[in-house]
Amino acid sequence: MFRTLACFLVASTFSFSAETPPPGHDHSQEIPGLKKELFAGITADDLLRPGSTPNSVKVVLVATFNAANYGMNFNGYSHGKAVLTVPVGWKVDVTFINPSPIPHSAIVCEKAETKKLQIAEPYFEGGATPKHIMGQTMGKSEFSFTPDEAGEFALACGFPSHAVAGHWISLNVSAEAKVATLQFGDQPAKEVK
Ligand SMILES: [Cu+2]
């Protein structure tokens, strides 16, 4: 019981501090030890690109792209603030890159699951990096899934406590959308081409 409570308290404190950095915290500060050649030339727009076949998209997720949210970001975005919208039934091919010595991973889950300390299984078959709970460092892996259900999902880091600290972006699977769109924060969504 005490252990459960302690875990909960640690998680809540962590989540709070991740959302409200202390005054003077500099997001442009670099995270040490990044293997930069692993993500040379990749930008936030690579979060969603057209796929090589019709009705598919290509997603490149770089964990610890920069120092935002203490490195717990994908291509600079955390807390769901990059929104990928994909029509239902489209294939999603994901390349996951972690250039840092801190373990991270990627898993597709329901949006509500980002509030959990640990995410057990991908919501759609095939939708996670290998051993997502253990994570991986200084490397790359690929996975694909085809969402067959509309709803609000997330591409989250599956390393315990990272999603709850904001290490996730939004994935909306839409029954109405005819094209894939990418949205950053309050900016308008743009069609990916
Ligand atoms: Cu992570």
Give counts: helices (H), strands (E), the chain: 1, 10
The model's pLDDT over 97-123, given as tens digits with 9 standing for 90+, comes to 999 999 999 999 999 999 999 999 999
Ligand 1 center from residue 157 Cα (angstroms): 5
- The reported pLDDT for the residue numbered 61 is 98
Q: Measured in whole angstroms, how far is the alpha carbon of residue 42 from the centre of its chain?
A: 15
As a CATH number, domain 33-191 is: 2.60.40.420
Q: Under DSSP, is residue 130 helix (H, G, I), strand (E, B) or coil?
A: coil
Ligand 1 center from residue 92 Cα (angstroms): 20
Ligand 1 center from residue 32 Cα (angstroms): 16
- The reported pLDDT for the residue numbered 28 is 55
| Residue 7 predicted with pLDDT over 60 | no
Pairwise CA distance, residues 104 & 96, whole Å: 10
Q: Measured in whole angstroms, how far is the alpha carbon of residue 20 from the centre of its chain?
A: 19
- The reported pLDDT for the residue numbered 103 is 98
Ligand 1 center from residue 156 Cα (angstroms): 8
Ligand 1 center from residue 79 Cα (angstroms): 12
| Residue 179 predicted with pLDDT over 80 | yes
Ligand 1 center from residue 176 Cα (angstroms): 31
pTM: 0.85
- The reported pLDDT for the residue numbered 31 is 86
By the CB criterion, residues less than 5 angstroms from ion ligand 1 are 104, 157, 159, 162, 167
- The reported pLDDT for the residue numbered 134 is 98
Q: What is the mean pLDDT of residues 173-180?
A: 98
Dihedral class, residue 75 (left if φ above 0, else alpha if ψ from -120 to 50, else beta): left
HSE-CB for 72 with a 13 A CA cutoff: 24
| Residue 130 predicted with pLDDT over 70 | yes
Instruction: For residue 89, give the nearest of 118, 114, 134, 55 by alpha carbon.
Output: 55
| Residue 3 predicted with pLDDT over 60 | no
Q: Indicate the domain borders of the chain.
A: 33-191
Instruction: For residue 86, give the nearest of 171, 186, 190 by alpha carbon.
Output: 171
Ligand 1 center from residue 107 Cα (angstroms): 11
Q: What is the mean pLDDT of residues 32-42?
A: 95
Ligand 1 center from residue 19 Cα (angstroms): 15
